[in-house]
Structure formats: C-alpha cells, structure tokens
Amino acid sequence: MRVRQLSQTSQSKAEKVLGRLLARLDGVADPASPETAVTGLETSFGDQFYIPSSVQANVLAPMVIALHGAGGRGEQSVRLLQPLTDATGTIVLAPDSRGTSWDILRGGFGPDINFIDSALTHVFSRYTIDPTRLAIGGFSDGASYALSVGITNGDLFSHILAFSPGFSAPATQCGAPRIYISHGTRDTVLPINRCSRAVIPLLRNAGYDVTYREFDGPHEVPPEITNDAFDWFLGTDAATIFR
C-alpha cells in the first residue's frame, strides 16, 4: 500500500470508485436551530445521532462517526460516548448497519456506505464541522469498517479510531488520515496476532501515522482506552471523564 494525495483534477474520476463518499464540507451551514436539525434526522437516525447542547450551528465542532460491532446498534455507541462528547462538544453520528454487520463484510461496499453518505450530507448542511477534527471510528467489525472507509476517504476524514479491528480493506487510498488502533492481548474473538499486529506494519509501511495501544484484556474497549483515544483525537485531556 502507498499513501497518496488525491489531486483535484482526478477527483471526479476517483469518486466513482466503490466506497468513496461524495459528502463534502463546504464551510457553510444552514442557520437552523439545533432542534430543527435533530428533528430532521429523527426519522432515519433517532438515537443514533447526538448533538451536545454546547454545539452551535455556525461554530466549528468536532465530529465522530461511531460504528458498532457485529450485531450491535448505533444507540449503544451514543450512550457510551455521551459523557465524553458532552464534555468536549463533539457531535456523534452512530448509524446502524443495514444488515447484522457492515456491507464490506457481506460482499463489498454498498448500502451502508450509501446510508453514511446521505447522513453526512445532511449533517454537513446543518453544522459547521471542523475539517481537522472529523473522525470515523468503530469497534470490532465496526473498527475494520472504519479503517476501510477512512483510508478510502482519507481526504475527508482527519482521524480514524479503530478499537480491536480484524482487518483493513480500503477500495483505494486517498489523503493521509492519522490512525489510532487499540487491541486486547487476550482477545479470543479477533486474536491480536492475526489482526492488529498484522495490520499495523502494513499501515506504517504505507506511510500512515499510527498510534497503537495494546492492553491486557479481552475483546472490549476499556474506559482508559476510550479516554486515551479522545485525548489523541481532540488534543484535550478527557481522562477525568471515564475512570
């Protein structure tokens, strides 16, 4: 793998590549109230979308797309992250996969990437998202999907957060997002030796800036890892939120 920047002249051609998101930040948000923006998303997303009360439509805000593991739900990610997102003013979009897991695990990019693209288009039109703090992350299958989508769309995402991923399968490589990966040394679901320890050398050899954290534990995301990941992403001290 080689890291490359997508030139402006090749943009339209590259966007035809499977897995490429078309949603873009243009710096202009609709001056709708937070209540209006939430209402506009409730039909499709419900508890999968969360805006801290401190967020204002015309003020730069960090954002995380949080992808659940196989059989999970987006609302679980929202509840888990809410203390941190409230403390840091971070918008969270945590979509449900169209099936039991993400489309790339079921044959390739398809309905899930399209759904995420539509959601991002809506959010970008309502809020002024900080392009330097726009992350895609996930746990387990969601982490594998975050790596795959994030690298494919590295000209959009500034950061990737992958908690216990199984693999990385980008359709192409664009931009150079920073990557955070964590994995438990006692993980029996996605064993560390054939997963993160195999993926990370490939990413680093391709030129990606990878921060890696191993911990003594099973297939999970411990509070200290969640804190560390948010500290890394936002450049703030979130360690007092989760203990």
pLDDT digits (tens, 9 = 90+) for 183-234: 999 999 999 999 999 999 999 999 999 999 999 999 999 999 999 999 999 9
Q: How far apart are the first and last CA of the chain?
A: 38
pLDDT tens readout for residues 110-169: 999 999 999 999 889 888 999 999 999 999 999 999 999 999 999 999 999 999 999 999
More confident residue, 26 or 228: 228
In this prediction, residue 48 carries a pLDDT of: 86
Nearest CA-CA partner of 120 in 36, 10, 41, 60: 41
Residue 243 has pLDDT above 50, yes or no: no
> In the prediction, which pLDDT does 15 show?
44
* Residue 194 in tokens: 């054939």
User: Residue 177 corresponds to which amino acid?
Assistant: P
The model carries a pTM of 0.87
pLDDT at 26: 78
Report how far Cα 62 is from the mean position of its chain's Cα atoms.
Answer: 12
* Comparison of pLDDT for 241 and 26, the residue scoring more: 26
**Predicted confidence (pLDDT) per residue in 36-55, tens digit:** 444 334 445 656 888 898 88
Domains annotated on the chain, with CATH: 56-234 (3.40.50.1820)
Pairing of strands 49-50, 91-93: antiparallel
What is the average per-residue pLDDT within 20-34?
72
Return the closest-CA partner of residue 143 out of 89, 88, 187: 187
pLDDT for position 58: 79
pLDDT at 87 over 80: yes
Q: Residue 242 pLDDT > 60, yes or no?
A: no
- Residue 42, pLDDT score: 44
pLDDT value for 29: 63
What's the mean per-residue pLDDT of the chain? 85
pLDDT at 35 over 60: no
Nearest Cα residue to 50 out of 28, 29, 80, 27: 80
